[in-house]
Amino acid sequence: MTPSSALFQGQTPLAVRMRPVSLDEVAGQGHLLRPGSPLVTLATTDSSASGSAVSVILWGPPGTGKTTLAQAIARSSGRRFVELSAITAGVKDVREVMQEALTQRDLYGQSTILFLDEIHRFTKAQQDALLPGVENGWVVLIAATTENPSFSVISPLLSRSLLLTLRPLGDDDLGALVDRAVSDPRGLAGRVVLDDDARAALVRLASGDARRALTALEAAASVAGDDAGAADAASADSASAEHDEDDNEDDGSPFVLPEAETPVITADHIAQAVDRALLRYDRQGDEHYDVISAFIKSVRGSDADAAIHYLARMIEAGEDPRFIARRLVISAAEDIGMADPQALQIAVAAADAVAFIGMPEGRIPLAEATIYLATTAKSNAAYNAINAAIADVRAGGFGRVPMHLRDAHYPGAKRLGHGKGYKYAHDSEIGIVAQQYLPDELRGRRYYEPTTHGAERDVSARLEKIRRILDGP
């Protein structure tokens, strides 16, 4: 028998146990881990030589490996590793770390890596306290944030650090991570088996978040262990009863209980563990894509009721709300566009609201944005325009910028004829003058063809007049 208590007794969470001990074990982020990259250099540099080390700010969604990278670098480099959380640490804590790092460097020749999680939660004063240590090389700062550092980290600290963007893990990366967790001695050590449907369900559930995948795996393994324990107990009782019935024909051999089978994690166990209707959402691996496709097509087709239905299915299945919000933003630009420019603002606001308040309340702005986008006017003219322009550029249709449009501000530009003949639009009473803007090779080319839907009807009428003026007599 393999009850869940035997699988997990006295152990730290699976996501913690499976943290890589080197950069070679890190899942995903290949664009940051190429030979010679800053992170690789930081991990392989001798601990006593801090001159080549550079502070970095890791920006990415939760579960993409920010903490993992920092700890793997610390283990690989042999540097002293200090971790602070912006949630609990204050200015005093930062200054103490800096002083100790300076002491370690001067007395023992050992450099210090300071890992600061959630740096966007630090106040300006707290971030200012980091500057002397970072600038003078007392510490190598590895800061992590889920928010855009351009808005949450002070400029002096940004200028002294490299900004590295982490991407959500791909399905292959997540699958490999789950497989390793099942077999690795640090993980489940082969004490459970993961079937293909369950593996696919974990990957879908994770939505690029490694921590979420491992947490769900651990919970599902517990459920599978309990089920296997119950089944083994029932099998043992049945075998014992059969042995008792055969007592009259006893040949003298001892009674042996059936050997316990290794628990198998199924998609049903995943669904039970995370308390989500995963199987209703995606049993075979296709419905995840089918539902999101139906959702966007319902919005595009102006069926608000159908769109809300598919939104509810995704929410109840545990779909990442950020994924839904991103699809709404894309739809607002692609399917609605200039027919209602406000649609993009509403979609972006819904995405920001979801990130700010989280779930389950995030379902409300998602529903609001869905209904607005479904019921407003539609146009894909802007989408078609950029696609057509890109197609021309890729086909070599770009030509030289007309002389009168070229930059004339640098020395010698005017001698080359740059800017000669340029007409300043604001000098005109109507703000538009007859002038060629496209290269000669593309003169007269039309990319944007507005519809007569919604606000784009007014754009169409105005654009027709503008083009007549630009083309001249």
Residue 300's pLDDT band (boundaries 50, 70, 90)? very high
Residue 328's pLDDT band (boundaries 50, 70, 90)? very high
Q: What is the mean pLDDT of residues 84-111?
A: 85
Structural contact between residues 447 and 393, judged by C-beta atoms closer than 8 angstroms: no
Q: Is the pLDDT of residue 1 over 50?
A: no
Residue 370's pLDDT band (boundaries 50, 70, 90)? very high
Residue type, 426: H
pLDDT top residue among 292 and 368: 368
State pLDDT tens for residues 63-73: 788 888 888 88
Residue 4's pLDDT band (boundaries 50, 70, 90)? very low
| Count of CB atoms situated within 10 Å of the CB of 159 | 8
User: Could you tell me which CATH class the domain 385-471 is placed in?
Assistant: mainly alpha
Two structure tokens written together for 128: 């200012």
Q: Is the pLDDT of residue 248 over 90?
A: no
pLDDT computed for residue 423 by the predictor: 87
The sheet carrying 80-85 orders its strands as 80-85, 112-117, 139-145, 56-59, 162-165
| Count of CB atoms situated within 10 Å of the CB of 256 | 8
Q: Tell whether the torsion through CA atoms of 465, 467, 469 and 473 is positive or negative.
A: negative
State pLDDT tens for residues 26-42: 888 888 888 888 888 88
Q: Is the pLDDT of residue 6 over 60?
A: no
User: Could you tell me which CATH class the domain 170-240+261-285 is placed in?
Assistant: mainly alpha
Neighbouring-strand partners of residue 165: 59
CATH of domain 303-375: 1.20.272.10
Q: Which of 131-145, 241-255, 285-299 has the highest mean pLDDT?
A: 131-145
pLDDT computed for residue 3 by the predictor: 45
Domain edges within the chain: 29-165, 170-240+261-285, 303-375, 385-471
pLDDT top residue among 8 and 107: 107
pLDDT computed for residue 234 by the predictor: 53
Q: Is the pLDDT of residue 377 over 90?
A: yes
Q: What is the mean pLDDT of residues 281-294?
A: 64
Helices (H) and strands (E) in the chain, counts: 21, 7
Q: Is the pLDDT of residue 342 over 60?
A: yes
111-120, 243-252, 307-316, 396-405: the lowest-pLDDT one: 243-252
CATH of domain 29-165: 3.40.50.300
State pLDDT tens for residues 448-462: 888 889 888 888 888
pLDDT top residue among 206 and 312: 312
Q: Is the pLDDT of residue 427 over 60?
A: yes
Q: Which of 387, 160, 184, 192 is nearest to 273 (CA)?
A: 192
> Global pTM?
0.54
Two structure tokens written together for 256: 């042996």
- Please state whether beta strands 112-117 and 264-265 pair in parallel, antiparallel, or not at all (unpaired): unpaired
pLDDT, the chain, mean: 82
